[in-house]
Copies of this chain bind each other. A is one copy, B any other.
Amino acid sequence: MALTGVLRPGHVQMRVLDLEESVKFYGDVLGLVETGRDAQNRVYFKTWDERDHNSFIIRQADKAGLDFYAFKVDSKASLDKFEADLRAYGVSTERIPAGEMLETGERVRFEIPSGHLIELYAEKKDVGNGLPYVNPEAWTALAEKGIAPIRMDHILLYGPDIEKSQKIFEDVLGFYLVEHVVLEDDTTDLAIWLSCATKAHDLAFVRHPEPGKVHHVAFQLESWERVLRAADIMTMNKVTIDMGPTRHGITRGTTIYAFDPSGNRFETYCGGYSSYPDWQPIKWTVDEVGRGIFYHDRKLNDAFLSVVT
């Protein structure tokens, strides 16, 4: 009861074009902590404040983009139950054995109608955030190494059939709709923001003809002043900024969109309200979507609806 089942986004695996360049970028500029490399030559990262062994994994490939996005569930019993429920719902699942990813237990993987691979898992080793579990200080020096986000926060996926993906997350995994953008027919959603707990979004979708695309992975910052600092660090490191610093109308969060060296967009995000499953979703009409996405500019830039990896 209370918070059970799906707890939060747990890890995301991304493809990059040049591994060492990306390791340098994610380690030194974004300021993630490298926690390991595996036999497949994947590099594992976590934010300084995350306690689980990894949340962001990269591997080298010819094409940038998303491999899979995963949620941590509260127990192996929940993992088994979700697998059974998914199958009963008509979703094929695959078991990936414990240890296939470093310090990570067995995973249940499934593809959703938008063309993305989603995973669930119950176990990942607690390696701590660098502060002791007894009498800790408020933060460590790692909190100021690079942009240094607090956590891997959410993902925005682009693909078709987003309403079918939404139903799986709602009906089987207990997610709920927080905000959505409705097309001119006042029926079809252009975009949806879903939460599994109290974040304004743990996962979002934009309707898009090509399946399996990713718009951005978001990392949470602590304050609007940290958003400014992130933008400064991007400039100092010649990181291409797509948009920001600004605010989203949707979720109210403050934000910068920028690109990693492979062209994967990432977001450094702060704030946004806390949402609850008993709340009425907020609706945006498509004529106001510009303000919904970029609250200050009140219009989408060209890249927003077109550049995905």
Residues of A within 8 A of B (CB): 1-8, 49, 51, 72, 74, 78, 126, 133-139, 144, 150-151, 173-176, 196-199, 222-225, 228, 231-232, 234-236, 241, 244-247, 249, 252, 254, 256, 271, 273-274, 276-285, 288, 291-292, 295-298
Chain B residue, CB-CB nearest to A254: B228
Q: Can you spell out 30 A-B residue pairs with CB atoms less than 8 angstroms apart?
A: A1-B78, A2-B173, A2-B174, A3-B198, A3-B277, A4-B4, A7-B278, A51-B279, A74-B277, A126-B279, A126-B280, A134-B282, A134-B285, A135-B249, A135-B283, A135-B284, A136-B282, A137-B249, A138-B235, A138-B247, A151-B274, A197-B197, A197-B198, A222-B271, A224-B228, A228-B254, A232-B247, A235-B298, A241-B297, A245-B245
Which residues in B have their C-beta under 8 angstroms from that of A196? 2-3
Interface contact B249-A231, CB-CB below 8 Å: no
Interface contact B2-A232, CB-CB below 8 Å: no
Interface contact B283-A232, CB-CB below 8 Å: no
Interface contact B174-A137, CB-CB below 8 Å: no
Chain B residue, CB-CB nearest to A85: B1
Chain B residue, CB-CB nearest to A197: B3
Out of B136, B232, B274, name the residue touching A139 (CB < 8 Å): B232
A7 to chain B, nearest CB (A): 5
Complex Cα distance, B173 from A234, in Å, reads: 40
Complex Cα distance, B247 from A241, in Å, reads: 13
- Extra contacts, 9 of them, besides A2-B196, A135-B288 (Cβ < 8 A), are A2-B173, A2-B174, A135-B284, A139-B232, A197-B198, A234-B296, A235-B295, A235-B298, A244-B296
Interface contact B291-A235, CB-CB below 8 Å: yes
Interface contact B8-A232, CB-CB below 8 Å: no
Chain B residue, CB-CB nearest to A132: B282
Out of B126, B246, B291, name the residue touching A245 (CB < 8 Å): B246
Copies of this chain in its oligomeric complex: 4
Interface contact B276-A7, CB-CB below 8 Å: yes
A193 to chain B, nearest CB (A): 14
Chain B residue, CB-CB nearest to A281: B133
Which residues in B have their C-beta under 8 angstroms from that of A283? 133-135
Complex Cα distance, B187 from A238, in Å, reads: 28
Which residues in B have their C-beta under 8 angstroms from that of A222? 271
Query: Which of A135, A234, A249, A273 gathers most chain B CB within 10 Å?
Result: A135
Chain B residue, CB-CB nearest to A291: B235
The 10 closest A-B pairs by CB, nearest first: A1-B5, A1-B174, A2-B174, A2-B196, A135-B288, A231-B296, A225-B225, A3-B197, A134-B283, A198-B198
Complex Cα distance, B196 from A306, in Å, reads: 40
Chain B residue, CB-CB nearest to A73: B1
Which residues in B have their C-beta under 8 angstroms from that of A234? 296
Interface contact B175-A245, CB-CB below 8 Å: no
Interface contact B8-A137, CB-CB below 8 Å: no
Interface contact B49-A273, CB-CB below 8 Å: yes
